[in-house]
């Protein structure tokens, strides 16, 4: 089955691997620190036998386990230029939560460990048709005991609904040859949408593909997506599109007063995060600015 995906990220992202998703051992690289105090990606799903590698990028942090599956080995690793990278190979399936002790609770992460699955496939991709509909494409390299793919769509990348089902093209659900699939959403894309596949095998077990994002605006335009929104503590900013020169993110109140600032680099790989846990409940503005454009989105801090 496909790579299971923990919904935080998505946006999204999520394993640092190029090309094929497979059941072979891989390394999940998590950047620690950098442009802002975050783990990036802050959530992911891997398989037993894979390695989690925390890679230091700046400032002093820790990778410290909090709640982990029974039987798993806890860890508390300083992350600095002297300490370098830290590798961890999970031996138990389940959800692993961790944080940076000096910057908790805003700086935290999670990863889910699943059993290796037998289907290999290339990532799901999306494009707009001339009619303004979204056409999805994916290719399986091998299939074992596969039954079907449910095509799921979401306006925010986290709450998905099934919009269609594609039965396997593999005879009996088994194939050792590449098979290409396409599906076109019947609805005209209004602004933006997220898509993923829910794969089901003949035994009823399910898993999920990567999440792909597509916007009505051109592929070169920048779009901000805030999650969670509303929020009680931190809000993550997904930046879809190229980051310009002298780029920054501002947290503003409704009068335009700057409350926080994050400077971005053109090759920024960290997910920017603003912590609203100590702010009063209400509406705030998150403004992206570079040398050629300004975009503003609202975020609500709930009680």
Question: Chain centroid to CA 131: how far?
Answer: 29
Are 129 and 215 a contacting pair, CB within 8 Å?
A: no
- Give the pLDDT score at 116: 65
Q: How many residues does the chain have?
A: 303
Structure confidence at residue 10 as a pLDDT band (50, 70, 90): very low
Run of H or E residues at 249: strand 248-252
Q: Could you give phi then psi for residue 110, rounded to 5 degrees?
A: -155, 150
Closest CA to 292 of 220, 235, 236, 237: 220
Tell whether the model's pLDDT for residue 7 goes beyond 70. no
Average pLDDT over the chain, rounded to whole?
83
Structure confidence at residue 207 as a pLDDT band (50, 70, 90): confident
Are 286 and 264 a contacting pair, CB within 8 Å?
A: no
- Give the pLDDT score at 193: 85
Tell me the range of 6-15, 26-35, 204-213, 221-230 where mean pLDDT is highest: 26-35
71 versus 226: the higher-pLDDT residue is 71
Tell whether the model's pLDDT for residue 129 goes beyond 50. yes
Tell whether the model's pLDDT for residue 22 goes beyond 60. no
Q: Could you give phi then psi for residue 84, rounded to 5 degrees?
A: 75, -150
What pairs with residue 255 in β-bridges? none
Are 41 and 273 a contacting pair, CB within 8 Å?
A: no
Structure confidence at residue 269 as a pLDDT band (50, 70, 90): low
| Chain segment 185-199, per-residue pLDDT in tens | 999 988 778 899 989
- Give the pLDDT score at 220: 53
Which residue's entry shows tokens 């942090």? 61
Are 140 and 114 a contacting pair, CB within 8 Å?
A: no
Closest CA to 299 of 216, 243, 234: 234
- Give the pLDDT score at 151: 97
- Give the pLDDT score at 242: 74
Rg of the chain over Cα atoms, rounded to whole angstroms, equals: 20
| Chain segment 63-90, per-residue pLDDT in tens | 999 999 999 999 999 999 888 899 999 9
The fraction of the chain above a pLDDT of 90, given in percent, is 43
Instruction: Work out whether strand 192-201 and strand 120-121 pair parallel, antiparallel, or are unpaired.
Output: unpaired
Query: What domains are defined for the chain?
Result: 24-114 (2.60.40.420), 120-215 (2.60.40.10), 223-301 (2.60.40.1930)
Q: Could you give phi then psi for residue 225, rounded to 5 degrees?
A: -125, 125
Tell me the range of 82-86, 171-175, 183-187, 213-217 where mean pLDDT is highest: 183-187
């Amino acid at each position: 089955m496909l790579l299971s995906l923990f919904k935080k990220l998505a946006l999204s992202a999520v394993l640092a691997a190029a090309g094929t998703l497979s059941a072979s051992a891989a390394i999940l690289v998590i950047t620690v620190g950098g442009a802002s105090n975050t783990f990036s990606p802050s959530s992911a799903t891997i398989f037993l036998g894979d390695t989690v590698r925390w890679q230091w990028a700046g400032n002093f942090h820790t990778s410290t386990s909090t709640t982990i599956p029974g039987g798993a080995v806890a860890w508390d690793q300083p992350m600095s230029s002297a300490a370098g990278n830290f590798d961890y190979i999970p031996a138990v399936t389940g959800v692993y939560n961790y944080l940076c002790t000096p910057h908790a609770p805003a700086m935290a992460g999670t990863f889910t460990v699943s059993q290796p699955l037998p289907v290999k496939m290339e990532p799901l991709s999306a494009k707009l048709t001339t009619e303004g509909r979204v056409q999805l494409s994916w290719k399986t390299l091998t299939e074992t005991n596969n039954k079907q793919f449910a095509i799921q769509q979401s306006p925010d990348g986290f709450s998905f609904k099934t919009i269609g089902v594609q039965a396997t093209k593999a005879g009996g659900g088994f194939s050792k040859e590449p098979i290409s699939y396409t599906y076109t959403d019947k609805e005209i894309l209004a602004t933006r949408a997220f898509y993923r596949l829910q794969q089901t095998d003949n035994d009823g077990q399910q898993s999920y593909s990567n999440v792909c994002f597509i916007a009505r605006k051109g592929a070169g335009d920048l779009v901000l997506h805030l999650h969670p929104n509303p929020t009680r503590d931190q809000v993550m900013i997904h930046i879809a599109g190229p980051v310009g020169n002298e780029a920054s993110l501002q947290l503003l109140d409704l009068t335009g007063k700057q409350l926080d600032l994050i400077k971005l680099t053109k090759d920024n790989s960290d997910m920017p995060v603003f912590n609203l846990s100590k702010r009063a409940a209400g509406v705030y503005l998150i403004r992206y600015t570079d040398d050629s454009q300004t975009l503003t989105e609202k975020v609500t801090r709930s009680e």
